[in-house]
Amino acid sequence: MNRQIERDIRICPCCNKEVERGEMDFTRDCHGIAFRLVCFSCWEKLMRKGFDGEYYSELDECIDYEY
Ligand SMILES: [Zn+2]
């Protein structure tokens, strides 16, 4: 029984700690697009202002999203 193998450990890009995937969530940028996967405590800090990353306008993005 190798239960350890089933644990999905990631490094939080914000605090650089090892965190289980189940303890992480994607932040959203100012347009609601998934930005990066961080641990819950970083998520709360990062999302306090409403979005993660830098504010940008649609004009800065060259990606076509179908909504
Ligand atoms: Zn973190």
- Express each pLDDT in 47-65 by its tens digit: 999 999 999 887 766 666 5
Predicted TM-score (pTM) of the model is 0.74
- First-to-last C-alpha distance (Å) of the chain: 45
21 contact partners, CB below 8 Å, separation of at least 6: 8, 9, 10, 37
Is 67 a residue whose pLDDT tops 60?
no
Does residue 43 fall inside a structural domain?
A: yes
- pLDDT tens across 1-47, in order? 656 567 899 999 999 999 999 999 999 999 999 999 999 999 999 99
Residue 32 inside a domain? The answer is: yes
- Enumerate residues 6+ apart whose C-beta is below 8 A from 51: 27, 28, 29, 30, 31, 32, 35
Whether the CB-CB separation of 38 and 12 falls below 8 Å is answered with: yes
The answer to whether residue 65 sits within a structural domain is: no
66 in a structural domain:
no
Range of the domain at 18: 3-60
16-26 pLDDT tens trace: 999 999 999 99
Does residue 49 lie within any of the structural domains? yes
Distance 10 CA to ligand 1 centre (A): 10
Number of domains in the chain: 1
Q: What residues have their beta carbon closer than 5 A to ion ligand 1? A: 12, 14-15, 39, 42
Asked if residue 67 is part of any domain, the answer here is: no
